[in-house]
A = this chain, B = another copy of it.
Amino acid sequence: MPETILVVEDEPALRDTLSYNLKKDGFTVEAVGDGRAALDSARKLKPDLIVLDLMLPEIDGFEVCRILRKEMTTPILMLTARDDEIDRVVGLEVGADDYLTKPFSMRELMARVKAQLRRSRLLREEFGKAAAASSTQEKLSFGNLVINLTRREVILNDEPLSLKPQEYELLVFFAEHQGKMLSREFILERVWGWDFIGDSRTVDVHVRWLRQKIEKDASQPIRIVTVRGGGYRFEG
């Protein structure tokens, strides 16, 4: 079951981009352009998260946020134009869960969205609510290599393995695509973010570091194999 996100943004171009990129990441998205529609949709859809612009016609974002806070605990991610609005937004007055100052990168937004969803999933589990069975895969196991997503911890030979943040993300991505050849470009887009500007050789370096940590012999890798002319493939 894909998670549902409600996007509330009056500027059509930005609304569409947000919507498109969230969809591309597998979310079900509803996008509306004003405060009244936002309230309607939020009540009808019960989305898992709301991305809410502060500046809105009809009813502004402040107000929408305050109203929704009373009715539901859905995490709200605020989009603000100016730094000096932040205090009010995340403070007691409005109570958004997180915020982003324009201009922001899509990568940033995606990261925040996912962080919020992860957090609220955790909270739900904590209180024994909803099954959490389907969409939350707890562990990925490959023999003596176990990735615990909840703990954000990797165990190799029963010992915790220390990975840098990006190494961890890369490993998880590989693990989720076991057996598939992944090009450097695809890896960059999915792990680093769609707006990453830079050299695809960056992937090589991270692969090297990962190999040093998870391969028995990093010069003869058997888990992350090179597909010459193609990219890399994680064998598990």
Which B residues are CB-close (under 8 A) to A2? 127
Closest-by-CB residue of B relative to A20 is: B69
A228/B95 in contact, CB under 8 A = no
A13 in contact (CB, < 8 A): yes
A156 in contact (CB, < 8 A): no
B181/A151 in contact, CB under 8 A = yes
Given A151-B179, A152-B227, A229-B168, residue A95 in contact with residue B16 (CB < 8 A): yes
Per-residue 0/1 for A3-34: is the Cβ within 8 Å of any B Cβ (1 yes, 0 no)? 00000000011101101110110100001000
CA distance A95 to B24 in the complex (A): 12
CA distance A73 to B2 in the complex (A): 15
Given A127-B26, A181-B152, A189-B119, residue A165 in contact with residue B230 (CB < 8 A): yes
Which B residues are CB-close (under 8 A) to A115? 185
| Interface positions of A (Cβ within 8 A of B) | 2, 12-14, 16-17, 19-21, 23-24, 26, 31, 66, 69-70, 73, 92-95, 103, 106, 115, 118-119, 122-123, 126-127, 150-153, 164-166, 168, 176-177, 179-182, 185-186, 189, 227-230, 233
CA distance A165 to B73 in the complex (A): 30
Given A92-B17, A95-B20, A185-B115, residue A70 in contact with residue B31 (CB < 8 A): yes
New contact pairs (6) apart from A17-B92, A152-B233, CB-CB < 8 Å: A13-B95, A17-B93, A17-B95, A118-B186, A152-B181, A164-B228
Instruction: State which of B13, B94, B95, B119 has its C-beta within 8 Å of the C-beta of A186.
Output: B119
CA distance A111 to B60 in the complex (A): 33
A73/B152 in contact, CB under 8 A = no
CA distance A152 to B180 in the complex (A): 8
Which B residues are CB-close (under 8 A) to A20? 69, 73, 95
Within the complex, the shortest CB–CB distance from A105 to chain B, in Å, comes to 9
B19/A69 in contact, CB under 8 A = yes
Which B residues are CB-close (under 8 A) to A94? 13
Given A14-B92, A119-B189, A230-B165, residue A70 in contact with residue B150 (CB < 8 A): no
Q: Which 4 A-B pairs have the closest CB atoms?
A: A165-B229, A152-B181, A26-B127, A16-B69
CA distance A26 to B123 in the complex (A): 8
